């Protein structure tokens, strides 16, 4: 009996010791919605911090562009965090170095960019966006009237979008295009067509990109057609040839996304961890627009219908 009690007491001491070691780590673990300040400009970013074993941290980082980047080691002690990741683009030679202080459950710090700029940033905990209710769908809305750009707004450049024969076209790389209206949970039907080698994206709430790119015959990876860019790969690739009309039927409820490409379900109720590169903002708890990427080559869209949840 005494031996069992000693073993039990030892187990409690070990458990308490492990909890004490993990306590500082757990204070920073989780997902963070980040806003970077560059002069008068605010840029969205995102960070995920996870524990690796009992003492170490790793994670993922999304900047204002590009894909989710793995972080092999995050340093954290005395409420101070730092990490570095190698450059994503060939033209960059230096690592991105990120530092911050955790105070009152908020992160405040600096980013030393590969180009040599030092930018300030702030991070708040990302909302969970969990929902236990089954959506009740409202009345479908035609986001595009087939005649003009009413209800749409060009962003990040000079507008090159035109309407021809009921089709919304971006004939060359230029501005992106967003709806003026914003939405929470919804079902979205959209048809699209691209020339060989072109690239675009359908952003949900202006934050989560469903990739549009020439992918017929390619593996279903995180940067191919139908993927949640950098995060979720499709389970198969039912892409058509460039120059053919294709379709998405997308359902977004909280963070859970379902993507149907050309009639085949390629993503089913997967959780989107955070914003993808190119997002309009990092305010994940707020409604957002539908947003088409127009800066990566020619693209055409038609039959854009959104059904909001009540």
CATH code (residue 152): 2.60.120.560
Tell me if residue 204 falls in helix, strand or coil: strand
Distance of CA 85 to the CA centre of its chain: 19
Residue bearing tokens 């005395």: 78
> Domain residues for 90?
27-125
> Is residue 133 one of the residues assigned to a domain?
no
> Is residue 279 one of the residues assigned to a domain?
yes
- The domain spanning residue 61 has which CATH number? 2.40.128.120
Q: What is the pTM of this model?
A: 0.90
Q: 152 and 259 share a domain?
A: yes
CA–CA distance, 122 with 106 (Å, rounded to integer)? 7
Q: 118 and 175 share a domain?
A: no
CA–CA distance, 7 with 14 (Å, rounded to integer)? 11
> Is residue 19 one of the residues assigned to a domain?
no
Nearest to 302 by CA among 143, 167, 162, 178: 167
Q: 110 and 184 share a domain?
A: no
Query: Average pLDDT of each block of 10 consecutive residues along the chain (310 residues)?
Result: 48 39 76 96 97 91 91 96 86 86 97 92 96 91 98 94 97 97 98 97 98 97 97 98 98 98 98 97 98 96 97
pLDDT given at position 97: 96
pLDDT given at position 18: 38
pLDDT given at position 110: 97
CA–CA distance, 280 with 143 (Å, rounded to integer)? 19
pLDDT given at position 207: 98
């Amino acid at each position: 009996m005494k031996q069992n009690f000693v073993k039990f007491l030892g187990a409690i001491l070990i458990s308490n010791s492990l909890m004490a070691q993990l306590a500082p780590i757990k204070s920073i673990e989780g997902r963070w919605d980040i806003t970077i300040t560059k002069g008068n400009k605010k840029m969205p970013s995102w960070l995920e911090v996870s524990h690796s074993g009992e003492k170490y941290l790793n994670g993922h980082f999304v900047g204002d562009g590009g894909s989710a980047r793995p972080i092999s080691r995050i340093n954290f002690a005395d409420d101070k965090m730092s990490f570095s990741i190698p450059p994503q683009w060939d033209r960059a030679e230096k690592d991105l170095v990120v530092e911050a202080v955790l105070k009152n459950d908020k992160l405040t710090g600096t980013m030393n960019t590969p180009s040599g700029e030092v930018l300030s940033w702030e991070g708040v905990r990302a909302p969970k966006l969990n929902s236990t209710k089954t959506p009740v769908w409202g009345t479908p809305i035609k986001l595009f009237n087939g005649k003009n750009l009413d209800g749409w707004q060009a962003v990040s450049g000079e507008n090159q979008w035109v309407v021809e024969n009921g089709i919304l076209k971006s004939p060359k790389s230029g501005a992106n295009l967003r709806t003026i209206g914003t939405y929470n949970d919804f079902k979205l039907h959209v048809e699209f067509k691209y020339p060989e080698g072109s690239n675009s994206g359908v952003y949900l709430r202006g934050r989560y990109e469903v990739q549009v790119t020439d992918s017929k015959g390619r593996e279903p990876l995180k940067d191919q057609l139908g993927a949640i860019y950098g995060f979720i790969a499709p389970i198969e690739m039912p892409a058509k040839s460039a120059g053919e009309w294709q379709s998405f039927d997308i359902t977004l409820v909280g963070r859970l996304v379902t993507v149907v490409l050309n009639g085949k379900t390629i993503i089913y109720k997967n959780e989107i961890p955070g914003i993808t590169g190119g997002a309009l903002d990092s305010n994940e708890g707020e409604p957002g627009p539908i947003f088409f990427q127009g800066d990566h080559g020619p693209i055409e869209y038609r039959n854009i219908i959104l059904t909001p949840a009540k």
